[in-house]
Amino acid sequence: MPIIDFLAPHFDWFNDPTAWVALLTLVVLEIVLGIDNLIFISILTNKLPPEQQPRARFLGISAALVMRLVLLATISFIVQLTAPLFTLFGHGFSWRDLILIAGGLFLVWKATKEIHHTVDPNDHKDSMVGTLQMSLGGAIFQILLLDLVFSIDSIITAVGMTDEIAIMYIAVIAAVTVMMLAATPLANFIAKNPTIVMLALGFLLMIGMTLIADGMGFHVPKGYIYAAMGFSALVEGLNMLARRRKKGGSGEAH
């Protein structure tokens, strides 16, 4: 990839139709990639007291934006993260691989803990929250950890699609803006539907395993992951509709 001049960005791409196609594609891709982060933020912030939840979501997503913009400013360093550090089992591990594996393990641990707490809410010894509410600082810290993992993956994806720094900035800002708008409705929807909580935790578990596999050199096409998530969400949506109609029918019977 050529070195990008950040101090004097050029805007010749405005007149290039292929650049606009790349921009639209990258915006959509960044939004899709942000779904993983948004699900985690929604589940985590729902553990906070109600008055702190909007603030936590705003701070967490704002931090994601700042982190991605900072990473874009150090893009030459980010690109170097894909260089192999050592080889193990025939796979050359880079810093990106190690970060993805660490983030995947963290997601698997968090999702497993929360699934255990959801299935057995009376067992507080092994829950990720325990008998106390999660603190705002603790939630923001955990969001930042996952922001870093998802941000590096997002920026490397952007670098692979275009050399124009302006396009990358626009795509990242657009994606994070959509996350900001969707965060509260998604969190409220998850909180009001207990079965959706378990489905979302299953998504996090799958995403965590995908990150680990990617870091180990076994790339799973994102299309398969999101197709599986979409199918599961569709089935759950039909279940919710069936339960709602059943309740409505019971009410009319009485």
The tens place of each residue's pLDDT in the chain, 254 residues long, gives 444 444 345 556 566 667 677 778 778 777 777 777 788 888 888 888 888 888 888 888 888 888 888 877 777 677 677 778 888 777 788 888 888 888 888 888 888 887 887 777 665 544 443 334 567 788 888 888 888 877 777 777 676 666 677 778 888 888 888 888 888 888 888 877 777 778 888 888 888 888 888 888 888 777 777 788 888 888 888 888 888 788 766 555 55
Q: What's the distance, Cα to Cα, between the start and end of the chain in Å?
A: 69
The pair of three-digit structure tokens given for residue 238, joined into one six-digit string: 């039909």
User: What length does the chain have?
Assistant: 254
Spatial contact of 81 and 94, defined as CB atoms under 8 Å apart: yes
Give the Cα separation of 28 and 177 in Å (integer).
12
Burial 15-54 (b: 16+ CB within 10 A, else e): eeeebeebbeebbebbbebbbbbbbbbbbbbbbbeeebbe
pLDDT at 129: 39
pLDDT at 13: 59
pLDDT at 118: 72
pLDDT at 101: 87
Q: Which residue do the tokens 């009319």 mark?
A: 252
pLDDT at 130: 39
What phi and psi values does residue 177 have, to the nearest 5 degrees? -60, -45
pLDDT at 252: 54
Give the Cα separation of 205 and 225 in Å (integer).
12
Spatial contact of 149 and 37, defined as CB atoms under 8 Å apart: no
Give the Cα separation of 104 and 212 in Å (integer).
5
pLDDT at 14: 65
Give the Cα separation of 197 and 39 in Å (integer).
10
pLDDT at 59: 87
pLDDT at 154: 73
pLDDT at 160: 66
Spatial contact of 170 and 22, defined as CB atoms under 8 Å apart: no
Give the Cα separation of 242 and 58 in Å (integer).
34
Q: Which residue do the tokens 């939840």 mark?
A: 53
Helix axes 222-253, 17-45, angle to 10 degrees: 50
